[in-house]
Chain A
Amino acid sequence: MFRAQSEKMTAISANSQDYALCTMLHSNLAAAAFDSLQADKRLVVLDVGMAMAATVDYFSQFRSKLLFVDLYSEDLVAEIGEEVSHQQLVAQFRQALGIKDNCVIDVCLFWDFFNYLDGTLIKAFIEALQPYVADHTRGFGLGSLNSRCQLPNSCYGLMTENTLTQCPRSEEQRPVYPHSQRDLNSHLDYFEINKSRLMSDGRVEYLITRCDGSELAKKPIF
Chain B
Amino acid sequence: MFNFKKDTDTDRSALNKSSRSSSDIAKRASVSIGGKTMIGSTVFIDGNITSAEDLIIEGKVSGTITATGHEVTVGQAGQLNANISAKTVRIEGRVEGDISGGEKVIISKTGNVLGNIDAPRVTLEDGAKFKGSIEMDPDEQPAIKAVPNSKSDLFPGAASAEKSNAS
Contacts and interface: CB of A to CB of B under 8 A. Distances in A.
Interface in B8-23: none
B133 A51 contact: no
A148 to B, nearest CB: 32
B147 interface: no
A53 B138 CA distance: 17
A70 B126 contact: no
B92 to A, nearest CB: 15
Nearest to A55: B124
Given A63-B136, A63-B137, A64-B136, A56 B123 contact: yes
B130 A67 contact: no
A65 B126 CA distance: 20
Nearest to B127: A53
Main DSSP-derived SS at the B contact region: strand
A204 interface: no
A64 B137 CA distance: 6
Contact of A53 (B126, B132, B136, B137): B126
Interface stretch (A17-25, A180-188, A194-202, A208-216): A17-25
A173 interface: no
Given A63-B137, A63-B138, A63-B139, A53 B124 contact: yes
A65 B124 contact: no
Nearest to A19: B126
A68 B128 CA distance: 13
B151 interface: no
B80 to A, nearest CB: 18
A68 B136 CA distance: 14
A43 to B, nearest CB: 10
Nearest to B126: A53
Contacts of A64: 134-137
B121 interface: yes
A59 interface: yes
A22 B127 CA distance: 11
B134 A66 contact: yes
B129 interface: yes
B149 to A, nearest CB: 33
A17 to B, nearest CB: 6
Interface in B116-154: 121-140
Main DSSP-derived SS at the A contact region: loop
Contacts of B124: 51-53, 56-57
Contacts of B135: 64-66
A62 interface: yes
A66 B125 CA distance: 16
A53 B139 contact: no
Nearest to B113: A51
B138 A61 contact: yes
Nearest to B132: A68
Q: Give the residue among A53, A59, A70 with the most B Cβ atoms within 10 A.
A: A53
A65 B134 contact: yes
Interface of A: 17-19, 21-22, 42, 50-53, 56-57, 59-70
20 contacts: A18-B126, A19-B126, A51-B131, A52-B124, A53-B127, A56-B123, A57-B123, A60-B123, A64-B134, A64-B135, A65-B133, A65-B134, A65-B135, A65-B136, A66-B133, A66-B134, A66-B135, A66-B136, A68-B131, A68-B134
Given A53-B123, A53-B128, A68-B134, 15 more contacts: A21-B126, A51-B128, A51-B129, A51-B134, A52-B124, A56-B123, A59-B136, A60-B121, A60-B138, A63-B136, A63-B140, A64-B136, A65-B133, A65-B136, A68-B131
